[in-house]
């Protein structure tokens, strides 16, 4: 998957390009990130990338011209080889649709995308209207820039790329992938601080283990995230799929 990222801080992305699963996916070419820094598109001597908001008020906005030039460049690079597929520009924004696993799965099914990271007090509405196709939020709170949000999106999407995670079952069993939260897990030792591992996990009975895990997923989900389940429906759905 090709992802072109418009950002004033490309260096922040080393957190995902240099570490863990995402780093491996980048080096194996499963995910290809390129960066377009509006500062490099600024024409003035000081390479200005911010400007005052009309109407006054605190803070600055991203300056329009270098921002739009960076977006166009990020988009052009992807359109060239898109074979007729559209390339969407996604703005990371607290006003966007809150990202969930269904959203991540939909984005992961695309083969190219432009991500736009805001800074300061955000970006001019006309840029949103003219250049942005969708807005994604990482939650109902405000962070200082779109980079962390973009990294969350890229990490979540990378996990779903075929081959990114060694054992593909581990992704399909993750929380949310079947609508439920993951069951509790245990590792060695068998007894820790006087608490034992549930005996079924030591039984070697795979059918019993599978049933226990589903039951625990239902319990954990209804305790921690009752909003995710209509309990009756989830129980029925999963008992049918056994």
In the complex, the residues that contact ligand SAM under the rule CB under 6 A are 92-95, 117-119, 121-122, 137-139, 141-146, 149
Smallest separation, CB 138 to ligand SAM (Å): 4
Smallest separation, CB 125 to ligand SAM (Å): 11
Rounded Cα distance between 168 and 151, Å, is 22
Which CB sits closer to ligand SAM, 128 or 197?
128
* Residue nearest ligand SAM by beta-carbon distance: 118
Smallest separation, CB 113 to ligand SAM (Å): 15
User: Hey, what are 27's tokens?
Assistant: 């080096």
Q: At what angle do helices 231-241 and 206-224 cross, to 10 degrees?
A: 160
DSSP 26-60: HHTTSSEEEEE-HHHH--STT---EEPPTT--SS-
Which CB sits closer to ligand SAM, 1 or 117?
117
Smallest separation, CB 122 to ligand SAM (Å): 4
End-to-end Cα spacing for the chain? 34
Which CB sits closer to ligand SAM, 93 or 216?
93
Smallest separation, CB 146 to ligand SAM (Å): 3
Q: At what angle do helices 101-108 and 146-159 cross, to 10 degrees?
A: 70
Which CB sits closer to ligand SAM, 94 or 184?
94
Rounded Cα distance between 80 and 62, Å, is 27
Q: What is the dihedral of CA 97, 102, 104, 108, to 10 degrees?
A: -130
Which CB sits closer to ligand SAM, 33 or 218?
33
């Amino acid at each position: 998957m090709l992802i072109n990222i418009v950002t004033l801080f490309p260096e922040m992305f080393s957190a995902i390009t240099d570490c863990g699963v995402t780093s491996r996916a980048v080096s194996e070419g499963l995910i290809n990130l390129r960066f377009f820094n509006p500062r490099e598109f600024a024409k003035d001597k000081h390479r200005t990338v911010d400007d005052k908001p009309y109407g006054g008020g605190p803070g600055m906005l991203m300056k329009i011209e270098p921002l739009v030039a960076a977006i166009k460049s990020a988009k052009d690079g992807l359109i060239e080889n898109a074979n007729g597929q559209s390339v969407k520009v996604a703005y990371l924004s607290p006003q966007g649709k809150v990202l969930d696993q269904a959203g991540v799965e939909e984005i992961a099914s695309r083969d190219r995308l432009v991500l736009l990271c805001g800074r300061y007090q955000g970006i001019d509405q006309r840029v949103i209207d003219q250049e942005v196709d969708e807005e994604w939020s990482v939650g109902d709170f405000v962070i200082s820039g779109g980079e962390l949000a973009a990294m969350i999106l890229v990490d979540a999407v990378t996990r779903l790329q075929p081959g990114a995670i060694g054992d593909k079952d581990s992704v399909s069993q993750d929380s949310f992938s079947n609508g439920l939260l993951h069951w509790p897990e245990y590792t060695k030792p068998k007894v820790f601080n006087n608490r034992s591992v549930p005996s079924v996990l030591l039984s070697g009975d795979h059918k019993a283990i599978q049933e226990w895990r589903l039951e625990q997923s239902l319990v954990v989900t209804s305790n921690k995230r009752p909003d995710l389940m209509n309990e009756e429906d989830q129980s029925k759905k999963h008992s049918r799929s056994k």
